[in-house]
A and B are shown apart, each in its own frame.
Chain A
Amino acid sequence: EVQLVESGGGLVQPGGSLRLSCAASGFNFTPYSMNWVRQAPGKGLEWVAYIGIGSSTIYYADSVKGRFTISRDDARNSLHLQMNSLRDEDTAVYFCARDRAWAFDVWGQGTMVTVSS
């Protein structure tokens, strides 16, 4: 079964850091680009970051650029999101999502990040 499972969410104070992980299984991870997408409570979806095959290209949303870093470990079939200088507005469920034809064809169930003092 094709599956993505996120982990690493939790409660963190403003200005703090958190590292999210996404474990992929059931498919060959290496030839796929990957993304992080988030959904704040009561809000819509927001694309956060993209990483291409072999980490060749990386893009960030303006809202997280300079604070978040996306990375991948193809040997371990995993995707990561290092989040620094966290703000209240970063509170959201974070999903990892596989890229297919400029769409997101497989999603995890998400991990909740709460930024609060």
Chain B
Amino acid sequence: QSALTQPVSVSGSPGQSITISCTGTSSDVGAYDYVSWYQLHPGKAPRLMIYAVTDRPSGISNRFSGSKSGNTASLTITGLQPEDEADYYCSSYRNTSPLNWVFGGGTKLTVL
């Protein structure tokens, strides 16, 4: 069982918007603004989409945005495109002993 909880799957049609939630605890998601999101396509290197809850790395489309409220973080994708179909994982820094990073179980995004 993963430390952070994500929906197993979400879907949307091209042009629509979707949101993926990521629920943790007051020791990780709720404690720090160190939530990040990753896109995984089979056989390819994972790609950082969002870091520090809301920041986008250079080269990532502004169709991707992140937010957080309490112990739940969210990734929103607007204007869905076929190439957005992938697995998405959230992650958070967790200041425990030992110090570590935790991931969600992943969400399969299907663009219908």
In chain B, positions 42-75 with a C-beta closer than 8 Å to chain A are 43-48, 51-52, 55, 57
- Tell me the complex Cα distance, A44–B38, Å: 12
- Tell me the complex Cα distance, A44–B106, Å: 6
Cβ contact within 8 Å between B100 and A47 = yes
Residues on A with C-beta less than 8 A from B91 are: 45, 47, 103-104
Q: Give the number of residues in B that approach A within 8 Å (Cβ atoms).
A: 27
Tell whether A44 pairs with B2 under 8 Å between CB atoms, given A101-B52, A104-B46, A107-B45. yes
CB of B104 within 8 Å of the partner chain: yes
- Tell me the complex Cα distance, A76–B93, Å: 29
Cβ contact within 8 Å between A107 and B47 = yes
Cβ contact within 8 Å between A102 and B99 = no
Cβ contact within 8 Å between B38 and A104 = yes
B contact residues vs A (CB 8 Å cutoff): 2, 32, 34, 36, 38, 43-48, 51-52, 55, 57, 89, 91, 93, 98-106
A contact residues vs B (CB 8 Å cutoff): 4, 35, 44-47, 50, 59-62, 65, 95, 97, 100-110
- Tell me the complex Cα distance, A20–B105, Å: 25
Cβ contact within 8 Å between A45 and B89 = yes
Which of B57, B89, B93 contacts A105, CB < 8 Å? B57
Cβ contact within 8 Å between B45 and A103 = no
